[in-house]
Amino acid sequence: MKKLILVACLVIAGCSEAPTSTESPTKEPATVKDASISWYDGPIESAFATAKEEGRPIFLYWGAVWCPPCQEIKHTVFKSREFINLTRLFVPVYLDGDTERAQSWGDRFGVMGYPTMIVFNPAGEELTRLPGNIDISRYNTVLELSLNQMKPISGMVQTALLDVNALTEADYRQLAYYSWFQDVSALPENTDEQALFSSLAAHAPEGELSTRFTMLHLLAKLDEEEASLTSGEADRLHSILASDELTLAAWDTLAYWAEEILLMVPEDRREALAEQWWQQTYELRFDESLSKAEKLAGWFPRLYLLTRDEQELPEDIQEQIRTELAAVDQATPDSFERQSVVNQMGHVYRQAGMIEDARVMLTAELEKSASPYYFMSSLGSIAEREERFGDALSWRRQAYEAAEGQATRFQWGTDYVRAMIRMAPEEEQEIVEQAVALLDEFDDEGQLLAGRNYARLQRLSADLAGWREARLLESGEFTAKVEALCAGQAAGSPESENCLSLLQPLAAG
């Protein structure tokens, strides 16, 4: 499941952060306020105290301005009148990744990727996490269920492992729409995920719920070496793809995982199932239950099959893609909503091998985007794949310089330094100076050792250690800076514990 979480994070695109503020972590951007959710205005500690005092559960949204799937949720789910009404029964909390102590709170809640949505009971115990790319009606249902049941997912998992027949239909629904892609903390250590999801699929009510568990079972199989589907599993996949309703219920898997799952299908059935797969998702791509970005995802299975042998797409299909994407572009004037839609358009163009179209679109978007640095990074990735390293580094540096917010700047800054290590390792002074400068940007140095910042610092430290070793360089200013940072942390604190694993690769380098 670890592989599943990583790839899913990449698929739903860009999991990350927003502009700096020293105000309360719940001070929402204007785009969120416009959605009419009355976000709690105060410190997070106070929100939990209020929830306990008033006997109301908490709905926590952890997001960022530049994160494409965050903007997707803001312009779909958070504008649903039913969802807005439901949040009034909760204490709704908006936590932005760049606000003061946000990364420490992220550690406490066990969140890393954006967006993450968690429901807590009035006592502050976690009940469930909502996934990031299902249709609006299902968000409403799951939120209402968590309100009515007040049962933690972890308890439902324990029940399922002991006696699956003890689960209610409401339990099955909450489990089916849990955010397994982002979090597996509800699973006891050493849980056989395949067996669990297979059992849930077999006992859940037929239709939508059993379908979702079936797909979770197939995704869990991806962790196996040389995994293959049984004849019965291939039959079940065929029956799901034969139904519009079931295909849409599993759209968050079927639109994105065709390549990986089809490779597990027995060869004698693979081509027929692949044909059914792309035709079904392609024909359903305009379904009104799907958002703009999710409609575009209907292209992915077809494009995978058309480009798997690295052949160029026929010109008529390229022209069809240009026409469809131009129409979506025209229909999306809001700069924040475009963050999600344009990001998905870029994925379609790149999957189609239409790299120049992607480059032209992304370059034009820099003038329209509320967070242009996100697309500068995409342009840098394109240039790097083409081995135009000068252009790639230029885009990466521009993205870092344009980024806003402490955690956001650290993310783009580490991306830039790591890119220099890959593409210009001879620039020794520049690499060290930039790495040290990143650490100097933090007012609260402890936040470097928390949440996403710490994960980024780990990767940067490991890359620097390998680079130093390869170039026979002595431990230098960056290592000294990190050692001083670690020395300043309270013994036994989470930050101090993180330092132990951080210093090992630096010492080895």
| pLDDT number for residue 134 | 67
| pLDDT number for residue 184 | 66
Confidence band for 28, pLDDT divided at 50, 70 and 90:
very low
Q: What is the mean pLDDT of residues 278-291?
A: 96
Cis bond before residue 115 (omega within 30° of 0): yes
Angle at 34 between CA 33 and CA 39, to 5 degrees: 25
Residue 316 lies in a domain: no
| 443 phi and psi angles, rounded to 5 deg | -75, -45
Average pLDDT of every residue of the chain: 88
% of the chain surpassing 90 pLDDT: 65
Q: With 70 as the cut, is the pLDDT of residue 15 above it? A: no
| pLDDT number for residue 103 | 86
Task: Report d(CA 21, CA 384) in Å as an integer.
Answer: 33
Q: What is the mean pLDDT of residues 395-413?
A: 95
More confident residue, 57 or 505: 57
User: Which position has the token pair 């070496």?
Assistant: 225
Q: Which of 300-304, 335-339, 463-467 has the highest mean pLDDT?
A: 300-304
Q: With 80 as the cut, is the pLDDT of residue 4 above it? A: no
The lowest-confidence range among 24-33, 141-150, 188-197, 211-220 is 24-33
Full domain range(s) for residue 424: 386-509
Residue 158 lies in a domain: yes
| pLDDT number for residue 197 | 96
Provide the whole-model pTM.
Answer: 0.88
Residue 180, domain CATH: 3.40.30.10
Residue 217 lies in a domain: no
Q: With 90 as the cut, is the pLDDT of residue 298 above it? A: yes
* 231-255 pLDDT, tens digit each: 999 999 999 999 999 999 999 999 9
Domain final residue pick, 136, 163, 188:
188
Task: Report d(CA 184, CA 113) in Å as an integer.
Answer: 13
Q: With 60 as the cut, is the pLDDT of residue 3 above it? A: no
Q: With 50 as the cut, is the pLDDT of residue 33 above it? A: no
Q: With 90 as the cut, is the pLDDT of residue 500 above it? A: no
Residue 327 lies in a domain: no
Q: Which of 13-22, 34-43, 147-156, 321-330 has the highest mean pLDDT?
A: 321-330
* 421-458 pLDDT, tens digit each: 999 999 999 999 999 999 998 877 888 888 899 999 99
The lowest-confidence range among 49-63, 299-313, 479-493 is 479-493
Residue 484 lies in a domain: yes
Pairing mode, if any, of strands 91-96 and 58-63?
Answer: parallel
Provide DSSP, 134-173.
S-HHHHHHHHHHHHHH---HHHHHHHHHH-GGG--HHHHH
Contact present, 137 and 483 (Cβ < 8 Å): no
Query: Residues with Cβ < 8 Å from 80, sequence gap 6 or more?
Result: 136, 139, 140
Q: What is the mean pLDDT of residues 74-96?
A: 90
Q: What is the mean pLDDT of residues 321-336?
A: 95
Maximum CA pair distance of the chain?
A: 64
Contact present, 41 and 26 (Cβ < 8 Å): yes
Contact present, 391 and 352 (Cβ < 8 Å): no
Residue 12 lies in a domain: yes
| pLDDT number for residue 87 | 92
Q: What is the mean pLDDT of residues 194-199?
A: 96
Domain final residue pick, 152, 173, 188:
188
207-219 burial: b if 16+ Cβ within 10 Å, else e: ebbbbbbbbbbbb
The total of structural domains in the chain comes to 2
Q: With 90 as the cut, is the pLDDT of residue 65 above it? A: no
The lowest-confidence range among 161-175, 184-198, 370-384 is 184-198
Task: Report d(CA 58, CA 482) in Å as an integer.
Answer: 37
Domain final residue pick, 171, 188, 205:
188
Q: What is the mean pLDDT of residues 360-374?
A: 96
Q: With 90 as the cut, is the pLDDT of residue 492 above it? A: no
Residue 330 lies in a domain: no
Residue 237 lies in a domain: no
